[in-house]
Amino acid sequence: DSKYTQLRIFFFPFMAQGHSIPAIDMAKLFASRGVNVSIITTPLNAPRLAKSINNSGHPGREIELLIINFPSATVGLPDGCESLDLARSPDMFQSFFRATTMLEPEIDRILEQHRPHCLVADTFFPWTTDVAAKYGIPRVVFHGTCFFSLSAAASIIANRPFDKVSSDLEPFVIPNLPHEIKLTRSQVPGFLKEEVETDFIKLYRASKEVESRCYGFLINSFYELEPAYADYYRNVMGRRAWHIGPLSLYSNVKEDKAQRGDSVSIDEHDCLKWLDSKNPNSVLYVSFGSLANLTNSQLLEIAKGLEATGQDFIWVVRKEIHDQEEWLPEGFEKRIEGKGLIIRGWAPQVLILDHRSIGGFVTHCGWNSALEGVTAGLPMVTWPNSAEQFYNEKLITDVLKIGVSVGAMHWGRAGKDLITSEAIEKAVNRVMVGEEAEGMRSRAEALGIQAREAIEDGGSSFSDLKAFFDDIRSRI
Ligand code: UDP
């Protein structure tokens, strides 16, 4: 759009797949509309991003990468630990967040030098608001989650309803939301309940405190998915927000040959051919995102549960953690030959989900995955573990009614809170076969259609994106 060619917008994505993947989609979307886009990143993340951007393959402007150093050594992290998935222990996790707070001088230098018209920085960089303000640059927050979870979190932080129940497993209602949503104390994120001040807790608090001073919020969602919560976020919480999702619809990975997130661990062509040989809606896709850390005994239960359902499946397992085979039942791979595909490492998730043979999704409810599932029109088995995933589960099961909970009860205890093969089998069967499954599938498919309409000319996300560009343009 020639109207926007004078706009210069900088992105500063958080260094974790679930945050950087949608940020890159956003950067590509902005560039395709003529905006000058730069992404600020670190040496180790730069090549990954470069491959995801693949400047030659998408329409519009080239995207520039600006590299800043990451102080791994200063906080005692091993060299090259510049992405959250490489922080393997709770201590490393905390150090990683501490390191990100030290990036301020470099960002200050970049903003002073380049003076972009807007800085879109991740919610985990709260300090960017004031640095940008020094140069009169509006800082827009990218949350990477939905209106529903932001609304639920705000209510829980303000009202602390979990203090009023007598046990960890007694349900409480999240106050003042448009629907009656119940949660248990055990499902509330640990960082909202802990007494000790960890680096992450300090950062999380800072990210919430700064919000009232941020210019606005870009949300990876579409209005029709959660209208009551989009309204709640804007009108009750008073946030200026633009919804521009589903961002995965802009990634065009198939056409422009760019990778999404990481190099895939399977021949994409073979994987799609395998899916081509299956019946529509007959294959289950099982993935827990880029960070979840399941124990071997939990993987064993998943294997047994999947086998018991008799359904065809694609199951993604994190290779760097589970490279040994002891988590598979005896003779499993032989028995499932032709029926099940295990991807060890990184899967081409969106390509798989969008294939017509996929009929259900077992998901940890990371927002990107959940929204990709919605966009593909899939009923889901919800299996949240950490971050804001327990809220996302409620949106899927209780509000949208397109999923069944596997029954995870404890935040941050993946694998320790063992989900049995029987529970897995039961939940999978409920989303794959029978009348209940058909009801969920038809609701999910309707949402998938609305998702595509939202980003088309005149759709709700299309219009909000234009409104966002016009807003920033009016300031220059
Ligand atoms: N993803 C992928 N291949 C994989 C695992 C994940 O492409 O093997 C992508 C997935 O499509 C999603 C993102 O990585 O876009 C994961 O983000 P999400 O919010 O679902 O979960 P997180 O990894 O942050 O827990």
pLDDT tens, position by position, 338-351 = 999 999 999 999 99
Write the DSSP string, 55-100.
GGGSSSPPEEEEE----TGGGTPPTT--SGGG--SHHHHHHHHHHH
Instruction: For a ligand 1 pocket test, name from 361, 368, 375, 391 the mutation site with the most ligand atoms within 8 angstroms of its C-beta.
Output: 368
Q: Scanning the structure block, which residue is given the tokens 């299996």?
A: 383
223 lines ligand 1 (CB under 6 A): no
Residues 299 and 13: their CA atoms lie apart, in Å, by: 31
Identify the helix (H) or strand (E) that includes residue 190. Answer: helix 190-193
129 lines ligand 1 (CB under 6 A): no
Task: Considering the candidates 58, 85, 117, 122, report the single residue annotated as catalytic.
Answer: 122
389 lines ligand 1 (CB under 6 A): no
User: 139: CA distance to ligand 1 center in Å?
Assistant: 26
Cα 118 to Cα 124, 464, 474, distances in angstroms: 17, 16, 12
For the question of residue 398 being annotated catalytic, the response is no
143 lines ligand 1 (CB under 6 A): no
Closest by CA to 86, choosing from 264, 290, 315, is 290
Helices vs strands, H then E, count in the chain: 19, 15
260 lines ligand 1 (CB under 6 A): yes
Residues 183 and 165: their CA atoms lie apart, in Å, by: 11
41 lines ligand 1 (CB under 6 A): no
- Buried b / exposed e over 298-330, threshold 16 CB at 10 Å, is bbbbbbbbbbebebbbbbbbbeeebeeeebbee
349 lines ligand 1 (CB under 6 A): yes
pLDDT at 222: 98
User: In this structure, are residues 9 and 36 in contact, taking their beta carbons and an 8 Å threshold?
Assistant: yes
Model-level pTM greater than 0.95? yes
Tokens of 332: 């499993």
How many CB atoms within 10 Å of residue 37?
26
Length of the chain counted residue by residue: 476
Residues 408 and 427: their CA atoms lie apart, in Å, by: 12
Residues 368 and 145: their CA atoms lie apart, in Å, by: 8
pLDDT at 474: 96
User: In this structure, are residues 282 and 401 in contact, taking their beta carbons and an 8 Å threshold?
Assistant: no
User: 444: CA distance to ligand 1 center in Å?
Assistant: 20
User: In this structure, are residues 404 and 381 in contact, taking their beta carbons and an 8 Å threshold?
Assistant: yes
Backbone angles phi, psi at 341, to 5 degrees: -125, 125
pLDDT at 128: 98
User: 288: CA distance to ligand 1 center in Å?
Assistant: 8
Q: How far apart are the first and last CA of the chain?
A: 17
Backbone angles phi, psi at 346, to 5 degrees: -105, 125
140 lines ligand 1 (CB under 6 A): no
pLDDT at 368: 98
User: 422: CA distance to ligand 1 center in Å?
Assistant: 26
pLDDT at 323: 63
DSSP 223: G
Q: Is the complex ipTM more than 0.85?
A: yes
Phi-psi region at 295: left, alpha or beta (left = phi > 0; alpha = psi -120 to 50): beta
Residues 298 and 421: their CA atoms lie apart, in Å, by: 9
Residues 83 and 381: their CA atoms lie apart, in Å, by: 28
**Cis check: omega of the bond before 246, within 30 degrees of 0:** yes
Closest by CA to 424, choosing from 404, 440, 443, 409, is 404
Alpha-carbon 304 to chain mean position: 28
Instruction: For a ligand 1 pocket test, name from 14, 21, 262, 390 the mutation site with the most ligand atoms within 8 angstroms of its C-beta.
Output: 21
372 lines ligand 1 (CB under 6 A): yes
* Exposure on the CB side of residue 238, measured as CA atoms within 13 A: 4
Tokens of 198: 């960890």
User: 365: CA distance to ligand 1 center in Å?
Assistant: 10
- Segment 157-191, tens digit of pLDDT: 999 999 999 999 999 999 999 999 999 999 999 99
User: 448: CA distance to ligand 1 center in Å?
Assistant: 19
Atom of ligand 1 nearest to the CA of 363: 20
For the question of residue 122 being annotated catalytic, the response is yes
pLDDT at 194: 86
Backbone angles phi, psi at 13, to 5 degrees: -80, 145
Identify the helix (H) or strand (E) that includes residue 243. Answer: strand 241-243
User: 470: CA distance to ligand 1 center in Å?
Assistant: 31
Residues 8 and 361: their CA atoms lie apart, in Å, by: 38
Atom of ligand 1 nearest to the CA of 367: 19
Per-residue pLDDT of the chain (476 residues), as tens digits, is: 789 999 999 999 999 999 999 999 999 999 999 999 999 999 999 999 999 987 766 667 799 999 999 999 999 999 999 999 999 888 999 999 999 999 999 999 999 999 999 999 999 999 999 999 999 999 999 999 999 999 999 999 999 999 999 999 999 999 999 999 999 999 999 999 988 899 999 999 999 999 999 999 999 999 999 999 999 999 999 999 999 999 999 877 776 667 888 889 999 999 999 999 999 999 999 999 999 888 889 999 999 999 999 999 999 998 766 666 678 899 999 999 999 999 999 999 999 999 999 999 999 999 999 999 999 999 999 999 999 999 999 999 999 999 999 999 999 987 668 999 999 999 999 999 999 999 999 999 999 999 999 999 999 999 999 999 999 999 99
Residues 313 and 65: their CA atoms lie apart, in Å, by: 38
Residues 14 and 86: their CA atoms lie apart, in Å, by: 14
